[in-house]
Amino acid sequence: MNRLYVVMGVSGCGKSTLAQQIAQHLNVRFLDADDYHSPQAVAQMQTGIGLTDAQRAPWFDRIGQAIQGQRETTGVLACSALKAAYRQRIRKMARQVIFLWLKVDQDTLLQRLAGRQQHFAGTTLLQSQLATLEPPENEPDVLHFDGSLNSGILFNQVLSQLENIHDH
């Protein structure tokens, strides 16, 4: 079955790292939603100002084009997917989508973001992201993980969950 695994959560939760690990393990294509932001959007986020839904629309269009190019294969996407409407839009882009939500407490996120180099989403953007987040508590295609875990432990937990899905 061809699937799109979407590793989601706010900045600093570890979605790009985990998504790359999964893609490498499955030997499938990795997409990072951050790569599809316009230079203007990146510049705005660097100042700590989050994007509006209208500003996100062309970004989602570009992500959708990338996903459409691989509809027949499995892939892994790292994408914040903060709102239910964003997740619904992603569901329409692929045949079968499984979201992996990385929940991390605010203190850990701030610590991670403060230590990050060469990324536009710093600590000033975190409050905007947390305010925008609509937790996917009751969405059946969303698996929940503790993103504060060591990346190796988290990766093993994710693989175990994904194997359980494939066995059923």
Counted domains in the chain:
1
pLDDT, tens digit, for every residue of 97-127? 999 999 999 989 888 887 665 555 556 678 8
Q: Roughly what angle, to the nearest 10 degrees, separates helices 84-91 and 53-68? A: 20
Do 9 and 104 form a contact (C-beta atoms < 8 A)? yes
pLDDT at 54 over 80: yes
Length of the chain: 168
d(CA 97, CA 93): 9
**Does pTM top 0.85 for this prediction?**
yes
Query: Domain containing 97: what range?
Result: 4-167
Average pLDDT (128-144) is 91
Do 145 and 103 form a contact (C-beta atoms < 8 A)? yes
The CATH number of residue 88's host domain is 3.40.50.300
